[in-house]
Structure 1
Amino acid sequence: MLPLDRIVAEIPRAARENIRVSLREKRGSVGVELRIAAANGRGTMAETAKGLRIPLSRIPDVIAALQNAQRVAQGLSLVAVDRE
C-alpha cells in the first residue's frame, strides 16, 4: 500500500481555525483523521496535535451517531430543520 495523506474536507470552526478531515495511512492502516488546523504566524494553516483518528470500518457508526445528534438537536430546537 502506498502511503496515503489526503485532505478531503475543511470545515470552518472559528475565524482562524478549521476542522480538517483527512485520509491517512499510519503503520499500514488507513483511517480518517479529524484535526484542528489553525493559522500560524505566517498565515498558513497548520495542524495542531488536537485530533481524533477513526478506523475506516467505524465511519458508518460515526455518521449514524452524528445524524442522531443532529435529529436530537433539531428536536430540541437547537438547530434549524433542513428541508432539502
Structure 2
Amino acid sequence: MDPVVIAEWPRNARETLRVSLAEFKGAPTVDLRVWYDDGAGRMKPGRQGVTLSTKQLPRLAEAVAHALAEAEARGLVAPRS
C-alpha cells in the first residue's frame, strides 16, 4: 500500500508533523512523524516520530481524546465548539 497522508500541520518554519497510514513488512501501520525541508524544497521524513500497528490505533485515539479533554479542562487549549 502506498502511504496515505491523513493530516499534516506546520510544527515550525522548517518542519511539518504528518499523520499517515502505510505498510511495513506487509503489516498496516499508522505513522506520526516530523518531516523536514531538506533545503532544496523537498520534504523528507525525520527520525522523530512513532510508527504503530493499526491494531493500536483505537487505543491511541482514545488516549489523544483524553489528553485533549484534560488539556481543555486545565485551560491549556481552547475548548472545542
Report the TM-score when normalising by structure 2: 0.88
Structure 2, gaps ≥5 residues long:
none
Aligned length: 81
- Whether the 8 Å CA contact 1:35–1:47 is kept in 2: the answer is yes
Gap regions ≥5 residues in structure 1: none
Q: Using the alignment, how far apart are the partners of 2:3 and 2:79 within structure 1?
A: 35
Q: How many Å apart are 1:77 and its aligned residue?
A: 0.7
Aligned CA RMSD, in angstroms, stands at: 1.3
Mapped contact 1:8–1:23 kept (Cα < 8 A)? yes
Q: Match of 2:32, as an amino acid?
A: L
* Identity within the alignment, %: 33
Runs of 4+ that moved beyond 6 A:
none
Decide which structure has the larger Cα Rg and report it.
1
Cα distance in structure 2, aligned partners of 1:57 and 1:12:
27
Deviations 1:1-54 (A, max 9, x none): xx4322222122111111111211111101001111011110221111222012
TM-score (norm 1): 0.85
CA contact (8 A) 1:4 1:30 kept: no
Counterpart-to-counterpart distance in 2, 1:4 and 1:25: 8
Q: Distance in 1 between matches of 2:4 and 2:79?
A: 32
2:43 to 45, 48, 73: 45
Q: Match for 2:67 among 40, 59, 69?
A: 69
Q: Does 1:24 align with 2:22?
A: yes
